[in-house]
Amino acid sequence: MTTSRKRLSPTERRTQLLDIGSRLFADRPYDDVWIEEVADLAGVSRGLMYHYFPSKRDFFAEIIRVESVRILEITAPDTSLPVVEQVAAGLDAYIRYASEHEHGVRAINRGSILGDTEIQAIVTAEFDTQQQRILAALPPELQTELMKSALRGWVSFVRAVCLDWLDRRAITEEDVKTLCMRALEGLLAS
């Protein structure tokens, strides 16, 4: 279904293409998404699509990069708060973002399962940043390699719980937050 052509600024067009791509990649495997379909849905030529993104892989990588940056921005900690409150605020922001930008969250998590090294690097960098934010807020005696590994696991746990919640809606947003915070509190207490 082709939408009517509308003249957009380059930034608006790029954003439109990324939003369409996020929706498609969130709902379907990488190989089932076609650049032609993205162009058609945007009401642009395939050539214009390739003007913005040289390949499908580049397009997908940019979707992952944009979502990663958005997630890091909205979860940035208020370092004036105690660590648990910092994490709770970041978790609230992430859950709200996941609810409002379900396609993007699914796309970044789908991207993390692909074997592409650039995409893996984007996802890994975001995980590392989240882990480092929490670690930096902890007292020095807790800033150990064991804690780094545990926090990395916790970030993965949060992602898995949020995806399950988005898929099934069997629990509430508050349940998601409570479950994730209890897991973190248990981790910090051990």
Query: Does any domain span residue 135?
Result: yes
Structure tokens given for 184:
């973190």
CATH (domain of 67): 1.10.357.10
- Burial status of residue 106 (CB atoms within 10 A of its CB: 0-12, 13-18, 19 or more): buried
Whole-angstrom distance, CA of residue 108 vs CA of residue 105: 5
Alpha-carbon distance 22 to 133, whole Å?
27
Residue 11 forms part of a structural domain: no
What domain count does the chain have? Answer: 1
Which domain, by its residues, includes 131?
Answer: 55-187
Residue (of 118, 121, 111, 98) closest to 30 by Cα position: 111
The answer to whether position 6 is within a domain reads no
pLDDT per residue as tens digits for the range 108-148: 776 656 678 888 899 889 999 999 999 999 999 999 999 99
Q: What is the pTM of this model?
A: 0.84
Q: Examine residue 106 and state whether it is found in any structural domain, yes or no.
A: yes
Does 153 map to a domain? yes
Within a domain: 30: no
Q: How far apart are CA 55 and CA 53, in angstroms?
A: 6
pLDDT tens digit at each of 190 positions of the chain: 555 567 899 999 999 999 999 999 888 888 899 999 999 999 999 999 999 999 999 999 999 999 999 999 999 999 999 999 999 999 999 999 999 988 878 877 766 566 788 888 998 899 999 999 999 999 999 999 999 999 999 999 999 999 999 999 999 999 999 999 999 999 998 8
141 lies in a domain? Answer: yes
Distances, alpha carbon 10 to alpha carbons 6, 105, 111, 112, 143, in Å: 12, 24, 25, 28, 45
